[in-house]
Structure 1
Amino acid sequence: MSTAAAPSRQPVARPHADRAIIWGVLALCAVGVVAVYSAVSFLAETKSGGDTERFLFRHLLRVGLALGAAGVLSLVDYRRLARVSKLALLGSLALLVAVQVMGAVTNGAQRWIELGPISFQPSDLAKVALIVHVAVLLAKKQAYIGDLGRGFAPLLAWIAPTILLIGMEDLSTAAVLSATMGAMLFVGRVRVLHMAAVALAGLVLAVGFLSSSPQRAARLEAWTGVELFASNDEAVEISAQDENYQADQARIAFAMGGVAGVGPGKSLQRDFLPAPYNDFIFAIIAEEYGLVGAGVVLFVFVWLLGRGFLRVAKNAPDPLGLFLATGLTTAVVLGGFVNAAVATGLLPVTGLAMPFVSYGGTSMIATGAMVGILLNVSRHSKTTA
């Protein structure tokens, strides 16, 4: 007697994405709008005759685009995105190569591509594409993930060139992306020995990048207070003084803010800190809202970390959703922690923006895209038809 096979039960989308993540992102955006409006006054004074509203509207537009990207991608099944991940990553790698050939130089770094009035950072696009494609590969190769040739090598073939091309001009983004990859590979059951070998090679490359760039070397030496790289280049000494200046001004902002802060819009250090609206936005928040305000911002990132790992990743309907949630959550939250650590002097000065808080363009939209994919995974959390 033959029996018909039972129909497979496929995960279906919930009517709502994870609302706690949505509220956390909206809270960060609100804090960012207020902080940027205060911090951007010096930039407005020097570049647009004191028209702070111009920069505020530009920031609001970018926040709107980021939230729009999050909303759209939260409705697109993440398994559909997986089908185009390879093509997206190939396009991102082509753009990273193009940066080295025809990229615009800003503040001594060649990271931007300019197309008429539009400029963007390919590294932000590559970050999203790499996370998605590595998640796809990890899900496909779980049966033999411990095998070096069949499991790990194909992953490394995509991870290594992407991080290398980003690190040539943006070592801090490459470092955060490397940590994100490490978290994904660990959750994906890649052998620790394989990861350790690659980490050692990456450390050697990082030292090479640092020693070949006076600006990068100066940042690390200013942070440690030790001359790590022998050089007679006067530019290195000047850069070290600049980096110390930035860190000192950030510490002054924290000291002036105290526990409760000096009040909204009353920051004095915004006139002394380089890029207070971006790299050092957390210092402005600490000055105006004190340790209480700074602590609230960090709590939101911890909240997002918990929701992303313990709710979305843990309850993901399949390995692809698990790996996506792990990578996307790590990338967003780690970016916030690194920006805060730089402002407090726990890490050397970098150029990383605080997600949804700092004044930014491509990074803001790319972060919105990552949150959108994360929200889509949350829509499918172990609900079956």
Structure 2
Amino acid sequence: MLKLIAALRDRFYALPPANKYVTWTVLVLSAVGVVAVYSAITFFADVNSGGNTELFLLRHVLRVGIALLAMFAMSLVDYRLLARYSRVLLVGALGLLLVVKLMGLVTEGPARWIRVGGVGFQPSDLARVALLLYVGVLLTKKQEYIKSFSRSFLPVLVWVGATVLLVGLEDLSTSAVMVMGVIAMCFVARVSATQISTLALLGLVMAAGLILAEPHRAARVESFVGVDLFDTTDAEYVLDEQGEGYQARQARIAFAMGGLTGVGPGKSTQRDFLPTPYNDFIFAIVAEEYGLLGALGLLFAFGLLLFQGFLRIARNAPDPLGAFLATGFTTLIVLYGFIHAGVSCGLLPVTGLPLPFVSYGGTSMLANGVMAGILLNISRQTSTDAK
């Protein structure tokens, strides 16, 4: 046993180094998340477990640990090996999404989770990783005729359309970010501007249809723009700041309370008023407790991930597949962060997207860990001169 551990250790040290900036940024974000969640979850713990905040903190720390282990493991697995199984993973994810949809129809309500043995997970988190993996494979295989609509773009469009539609039926914001990730990959892969524009247009049409089909989505749009646009919504409730606009208003109050330097760790008052402050609005809690400086610090961290993912890892990737995957996964992680921040400070409609590595979560945390690990593995494959 000791010889096996020693062999694994020697093999690990023999590997090329991974991108240290991505590694440390993820670790810092995770540490900030533990502190922020511990503060934000107090009210929730009082209501649901008699004030046992430590129980929820322990769950979060465990999930963070699993995500970091996944990141470490994926950083050691050649991304080309993962790509070989991307189609199987995507087909499996689509099957699980269909199961979730059928469960929702049976129970007459929205369903995003599958529970097995008391453990729940969201197939949409598996789908976003699997989709980008497989799109990266398709774009790599079709580089010789990348401008062809029928041979190159149409197969990508079919897989993206099926996945985005199934995810978007219950989670429009996640599907929208997935489309933007695919668009970024297509741009790097030299797909024609006409085809990229077609994908973007189809995404907008699908989003508009899903908004019109669900009154609660239409209500969020109306609340954000402050105008009664749809006949299916209750305009009085939607435009009332104590109605549909309640969450956004409470988040803005948190920013105002925080000022430049914040009210101090653990002293947030808006955590008692914001729905799910430990998840959907964790950025607002950070802004209240650590002020504008703390909020800008988080944005700087995601900006650093963007710079390293695009200009260091993707640009210096050893092959097109590595460049496409680095572009897609960086786009997904960073867009989640920026959109979450935009929602918290009122620049975007309420979406429900978690802040990567910071928000309380399970499968989303794991998916982010896997994507970060693949980024690190691509950086390991980069030549020494490129580093």
- Above 0.5 in TM-score? yes
1:311 maps to 312
Q: Which residue of 1 aligns with 2:229?
A: 228
What is the CA–CA distance in structure 2 between the aligned matches of 1:114 and 1:141, rounded to whole Å? Answer: 38
Q: Distance in 2 between matches of 1:319 and 1:224?
A: 41
Q: Is it true that 1:102 corresponds to 2:103 in the alignment?
A: yes
Please tell me whether residue 34 in structure 1 is matched to residue 35 in structure 2: yes
Q: Hey, what's the Cα distance between the residues in 2 that align with 1:104 and 1:310?
A: 45
CA shift in 2, pair 1:374/1:103, >3 Å: farther
User: Which residue in 1 is equivalent to 2:176?
Assistant: 175
Give a deviation string over 1:262-286, Cα, whole Å, max 9, x none.
0000000000000100000000000
Q: Secondary structure at 1:91's aligned position in 2?
A: helix
1:374 paired residue number: 375
The answer for the alignment partner of 1:76 in structure 2 is 77
1:20 is aligned to 2:21 = yes
**In 2, Cα distance between equivalents of 1:316 and 1:243:** 45
The Cα shift of 1:103 comes to 4.7
The answer to whether 1:326 aligns with 2:327 is yes
- Name the count of aligned residue pairs: 369
Aligned-partner residue type, residue 266 of structure 2: G
1:10-159 mapped onto 2 (5 Å cutoff): 14-103=15-104, 109-159=110-160
Could you tell me which amino acid in structure 2 is paired with residue 185 of structure 1? C
Deviation at 1:198, TM superposition (A): 2.5
Deviation at 1:252, TM superposition (A): 0.3
In the alignment, is the contact (CA less than 8 A) between 1:105 and 1:112 conserved in 2? no
* Secondary structure in 1 matching 2:97: helix
Deviation at 1:15, TM superposition (A): 2.5
Aligned residue in 2 for 1:214: 215
> Which residue does 1:280 correspond to in 2?
281
Please state how far the C-alpha of 1:237 moved relative to its aligned partner. 4.8
Equivalent residue letter for 1:213: E
Q: In the TM superposition, what are the counterparts of 1:216-365 in structure 2 within 5 Å?
A: 216-231=217-232, 234=234, 237-238=236-237, 241=240, 242-365=243-366
After TM superposition, the runs of 4+ consecutive aligned structure 1 residues lying more than 4 A away are 103-106
> 2:347 is paired with a residue of what secondary structure?
coil
What amino acid maps onto 1:245 in structure 2? Y
Correspondence list, 1:157-196, <5 A: 157-196=158-197
Q: Which amino acid aligns with 1:229?
A: F
| Aligned counterparts of 1:314 and 1:199: Cα–Cα separation in 2 | 24
Q: CA deviation at 1:16?
A: 1.5
Equivalent pair of 1:103/1:114 in contact (CA under 8 Å): no
Deviation digits for residues 71-127 of structure 1, max 9, x if unmatched?
A: 101000011011101100000010011110125999x64211122311110000000
Separation (CA, whole Å) in 2 of partners of 1:306 and 1:71: 21
- The 3-state SS of whatever aligns with 2:312 is helix
Kindly report the root-mean-square deviation, in angstroms, between the aligned alpha carbons of the 2 structures. 1.6
The residue type equivalent to 2:214 in the other structure is: S
Structure 1 unaligned runs (5+)?
Answer: 1-12
Where does the alignment leave 5 or more consecutive residues of structure 2 unmatched? 1-13
2:136 and 2:321 in contact (8 A); partners too: yes
Give a deviation string over 1:228-279, Cα, whole Å, max 9, x none: 2123x54x75455433110000000000000000000000000000010000
Partners of 2:183 and 2:199 within 8 A in 1: no
CA distance in 1, matches of 2:133, 2:236: 41
1:7 alignment counterpart: none
Secondary structure at 2:18 match in 1 = coil
What is the DSSP-based 3-state SS (H/G/I as helix, E as strand, rest coil) of the residue aligned with 1:114? strand
1:205 aligned partner, one-letter code: M
Change (3 A) 1:239 1:42: farther
Aligned equivalents of 1:114 and 1:81: distance in 2? 26
Aligned partner of 2:9 in structure 1 is none
* CA distance in 1 between partners of 2:354 and 2:364 (Å): 8
Aligned partner of 1:155: which letter? V
Contact 1:103–1:112 (CA<8 Å) still a contact in 2? Answer: no
Deviates more, 1:112-121 or 1:282-291: 112-121
> 2:29 and 2:106 mapped to 1: Cα distance?
30
Deviations 1:14-58 (A, max 9, x none): 522111100000010011000000000011000000000000000
Taking the aligned partners of 1:237 and 1:172, their CA distance within structure 2 comes to 25
Supply the distance in 2 between the matched residues of 1:16 and 1:309 (Cα, whole angstroms): 18
Check conservation: 1:42, 1:271, Cα contact below 8 A: yes
Query: Secondary structure at the residue paired with 2:113?
Result: strand
